[in-house]
Structure 1
Amino acid sequence: MPDWLHIALRSLGAVAYLFILTKMIGKRQIKQLTYIEYIVGITIGSIAAYMATEMDGPVYHSLIAMAVFALVPYAFDWLALKSKTLRDFFQGKSTVLIKDGKILEDNLKKERLTNEDLLEQLRIKNVFRLADVEFACMETNGELSVLLKSQHQTVTPQHLNLHVAPAEEPQAVILDGVIMDEPLSTLGLNRQWVRMELEKAGVALENVYFGQVDRAGQLYLDLYDDKLKVAEPQALKLTWAQLKKCQADLELFSLSTKNEQQKRMYQRDAELLQKVLNQVMPLLTK
């Protein structure tokens, strides 16, 4: 067998074996490396490269070495589960960099970070004013976790005492111009509904690259031809406008009538409808 073909086969075998070992180690090997996993990853890669190019030594020696290194994270994870001390030693501990809005310079030096490094990490988290930060912590994987001060946090429906429906996963109902029946059945819809929506939008099914239905029952379309524009669904906005008109009419009726009983009734209904509008506004005006 020619040397080039031998090297090619050994390389393919090394890649396949590495893939199997990586699947065994788990996703964390890719997503967030601990010290041990970082060392193991480098070492296994070096052994695989040696196995692919070294023609004299037997292949199984390299395979055994890679298998041993792949088992090391399992052993360390098992020890870390048994002991908090060993877990801190192997994986490290998070470091507080900002507390009560103040930078902890000693901890910053401990992590070998400069002020510019800290500001860069904050900008990655979309925080551009240091004065907005209440607490920041460097996690064991090197990521910076940031807690903004209360007055700078994003307002949620809970802050406004609004009750909203649970979030539901949008369903992809059209892929590559083909209607998907299973997601449609999950939403309680059918192919006829999809065709009606496509007809309203003036789009042919074969021209649709991707179609998705949100929890409000609106169909979002992405076409193969990016130059074509699809009109946004107006059903929710029309519903909002109609409800606002009804509420305004009730207030007008309360002002125009001279009957005190009817005036109170119209005012009460207008206030009730206004409460409903406040609750559905996040859904109908998005």
Structure 2
Amino acid sequence: MKRMQDWTWVLLRALGSVVILFALTRILGKKQISQLTFFEYVTGITLGEITGYLSTDIENNYFHGLVAMSVWFFLPFIAELLTLRSKKLREWFEGKGTIVIKEGKILEDNLKKERYTADELLEQLRTKSVFRVADVEFAMLESSGDLSVLLKKENQPLTPANMGIQVAPEEEPQTVIMDGNIMDEPLSTIGLNRGWLHTELEKIGIPLENVFLGQVDALKQLYVDLYDDQLNVPEPQNKAVLMATLKKCAADLELYALSVQNPEAKVMYGDCSERMSKVAKDMVPLLTR
């Protein structure tokens, strides 16, 4: 009977400790589950240890454990509030970054200061797809332990901005099908409904039950990933069709301008053709990416 009471008491203590620890962690914020500073690392370990003791050590007073958890919760919570207002306190609690590479040269003294080896530095660089130290303009070892890397200008990836190419803004696609089930909220967010979705699936000949994931982009194009990976799904052609239609309109207007006899009509059709060609050119960044 006593064993049964002990087992029940351990279960209740464990459940209570988990609920309390979860609530405290939520209040402390997402930093507790991301890159931790030294102080957050110590806090997380200690709270976990106290929770473990509270769950299984039935000989000790449960209330005393809650007091200890409260202390280890309020201290980092107050420290976090203070560090929001003071840079010096932030540096003291969280530390600050250390420059380890400058203008392609490794700063050995700073590496020694952080007790960081050359092997560890090269490993961190490789995770950033950097294999030559000479390609790095600037690298800093952050207080979280992550390495931030800035490549030299000539080694940075080429972007449309470097080439003077205008691109359309990227909008977040909406996931409208997940695990074969229609997601109504994302559909309504982009102004669509189930009827439109079923019509699009019929166009590509795919039943809803075979769709693992479906997403709709800003141009109302549906992309699907199927459970059956052997099936090939045709790519949406909305962009290509729209671009072809614009070019055809420009060509038709130019043809009208050449065939019509009335001078005023000829000028009007020619002007409309130029405008339509300009519209098609302006739409290239949006319709050809």
Confirm or deny a common fold (TM above 0.5). yes
Q: Which runs of 5+ in 1 are unaligned?
A: 250-261
Deviation at 1:282, TM superposition (A): 5.0
Q: Given the superposition, is the C-alpha separation of residues 50 and 186 from structure 1 closer, same or farther in structure 2, using an over 3 Å criterion?
A: closer
Tell whether 2:27 aligns with 1:9.
no
Return the alpha-carbon distance in structure 2 between the equivalents of residues 285 and 80 of structure 1.
48
Indicate the residue corresponding to 1:113 in structure 2.
116
Deviation at 1:145, TM superposition (A): 0.8
Return the alpha-carbon distance in structure 1 between the equivalents of residues 156 and 80 of structure 2.
36
Alignment of 1:167-186 (within 5 A): 167-186=170-189
2:135 counterpart (124, 132, 135): 132
Deviation at 1:202, TM superposition (A): 0.8
Residue 247 of structure 1 contacts residue 274 of structure 1 at CA under 8 Å; is this kept in 2? Answer: no
Return the alpha-carbon distance in structure 2 between the equivalents of residues 198 and 82 of structure 1.
54
Indicate the residue corresponding to 2:92 in structure 1.
89
Amino acid at match of 1:218: Q
Q: Given the superposition, is the C-alpha separation of residues 86 and 188 from structure 1 closer, same or farther in structure 2, using an over 3 Å criterion?
A: closer
Return the alpha-carbon distance in structure 2 between the equivalents of residues 177 and 4 of structure 1.
43
Alignment of 1:191-206 (within 5 A): 191-206=194-209
Indicate the residue corresponding to 1:33 in structure 2.
36
Return the alpha-carbon distance in structure 2 between the equivalents of residues 195 and 141 of structure 1.
48
Q: Given the superposition, is the C-alpha separation of residues 246 and 112 from structure 1 closer, same or farther in structure 2, using an over 3 Å criterion?
A: farther
Paired residues in the alignment total 271
Alignment of 1:1-286 (within 5 A): 1-2=2-3, 3-237=6-240, 273=277, 277=281, 280-286=283-289
After superposition, what is the alpha-carbon deviation per residue over 1:213-242, rounded to whole angstroms, capped at 9, x for unaligned? 112322111223333332222333455677
Aligned-partner SS, 2:84: helix
After superposition, what is the alpha-carbon deviation per residue over 1:131-176, rounded to whole angstroms, capped at 9, x for unaligned? 2211111111111111111122223332233333322110112233
Deviation at 1:64, TM superposition (A): 0.9
Q: Given the superposition, is the C-alpha separation of residues 178 and 51 from structure 1 closer, same or farther in structure 2, using an over 3 Å criterion?
A: closer
User: How well do the aligned residues superpose, as a CA RMSD in angstroms?
Assistant: 3.1
Aligned-partner SS, 1:145: strand
Q: Structure 1 vs Structure 2: percent identity of aligned residues?
A: 55
Q: Given the superposition, is the C-alpha separation of residues 183 and 46 from structure 1 closer, same or farther in structure 2, using an over 3 Å criterion?
A: closer
Amino acid at match of 1:13: G
Deviation at 1:74, TM superposition (A): 1.6
Q: Given the superposition, is the C-alpha separation of residues 76 and 237 from structure 1 closer, same or farther in structure 2, using an over 3 Å criterion?
A: same
